[in-house]
Amino acid sequence: MSAERRSADVIVIGGGIHGCSTAMHCAMRGLSVILIEKDHAGRHASGVNAGGVRQLARHVAEIPLSNTSMAIWHNIAELVDDDCGFTSDGQVLVAEDEADLEGCRARVADLTLRGFHHEEMIDAKELREIVPAVSESCPGGVISRRDGAAIPLRATQAFKRKAESLGATIREGVRVTRVEQDGPNWRVVTDAGDFLAPRIVNAAGAWADRIAADLGEPVPLEVIAPMLMITAPLPAFIKPVVILRGRKLSFKQFGNGTVLIGGGHLGTPLRDQNVTLLDWRKLAISAGTVWDLFPIMRGAPIVRAWAGIEARMPDDLPVFGRSAKHDSVYHQFGFSAHGFQLGPGAGAVMAEIIATGRSNVPIDGLDIARFTTTH
């Protein structure tokens, strides 16, 4: 590994969990890799998200990638030499009323027809057993028992360190300014000089649209800042992660007693300044949802709130796979506030596609071409 290395088989742009995972899996397949990150690995969405490791309630197009990832999460320590703080106590989608519950039934029935069985209906009694603190009025829900949560920055950095130990060159604090073709290679122009590779992966998260535009594939990427808040430690009262069907909420108590409240209310991102602004009136709505659902939480002190900078696509699905325009360019961005769980598996699938040209994991519907069909 050399800090001065300027060319490799693959250049990965972006050091989030996706970039780091892809770099690691490429290195495992014997490819030489340079990863270029403008800040430090996991600085943005990958390091500050809620850490949910969730198969529950995913869009059908993402389920194969999510399943691949989940298998990896359950053996994560063997892969990256760090348990990444992963715990698996399940995730529960709580139905707040009968209409919610009916929607849940239809969803699970549809998944069963498609051959997916990770989501199961639970009735009010089982819901109360699993989540005793939930409000009495909730009639049931859906559980995904192998789901859980991990520590985001730690997980991302574990992938980075493992990639490095396998020979990948990680360049942090290096900003990509332009990408251009140079004979058989791609020239990645940065504020620390040029890098060359025959293949590049665009995993630049909220900044990926700029890379895509350079490559002649502009995409309608929206920069978002999903907000989260966390409480001081409370007595243990809930094990699984809880999400809702009707309202925006993601709710998780950690082993140390702190409770994470998320769910996707958005602050204001200022991506050129690496800054986000919180919107307390919207956080107050999350607080109101928790007030309704978990009376035990009402006096809890909130000690911190924050937001990451994320990319969102118009259909809330990632852009994943080979470029529609260049055979040697691969896109892996736009995870729309639910990409953390997908990182380990998406990296494995991407590396397989780069190394072998194909993968058995279906990624239909995630192609960048869905935004560029007019050409």
By CB under 8 A, name the binding residues for another protein.
Answer: 40, 42, 47, 151-154, 157, 161, 230-233, 248, 256, 258, 265-266, 268, 275, 277-285, 287-288, 290-291, 297-306
Instruction: Look up tokens 């490559």; give the residue.
Output: 215
**Smaller CB separation from another protein, 158 or 350:** 158
**Smaller CB separation from another protein, 298 or 358:** 298
**Smaller CB separation from another protein, 256 or 374:** 256
Spatial separation of the C-alpha atoms in residues 267 and 290, rounded to whole Å: 19
Considering the complex, what minimum distance in angstroms separates the CB of residue 277 from another protein? 5
Whether the CB-CB separation of 226 and 308 falls below 8 Å is answered with yes
Considering the complex, what minimum distance in angstroms separates the CB of residue 300 from another protein? 5
Listed in sequence order, the residues at least 6 apart from 234 whose beta carbon sits closer than 8 Å to its beta carbon are: 253, 257, 258, 259, 296, 297, 300
Residue 296 CB-density burial (10 A; 0-12 exposed, 13-18 middle, 19+ buried): middle
**Smaller CB separation from another protein, 30 or 255:** 255
Considering the complex, what minimum distance in angstroms separates the CB of residue 144 from another protein? 25
Considering the complex, what minimum distance in angstroms separates the CB of residue 355 from another protein? 28
**Smaller CB separation from another protein, 2 or 356:** 2
* Tokens of residue 259, six digits: 């409770």
Phi, psi for residue 181 in degrees, rounded to 5: -75, 140
Sheet hosting strand 319-322, strand order edge to edge: 169-172, 33-37, 10-13, 199-202, 329-333, 319-322
Considering the complex, what minimum distance in angstroms separates the CB of residue 206 from another protein? 16
- What does the DSSP 8-state code read for residue 297? G
**Smaller CB separation from another protein, 115 or 301:** 301
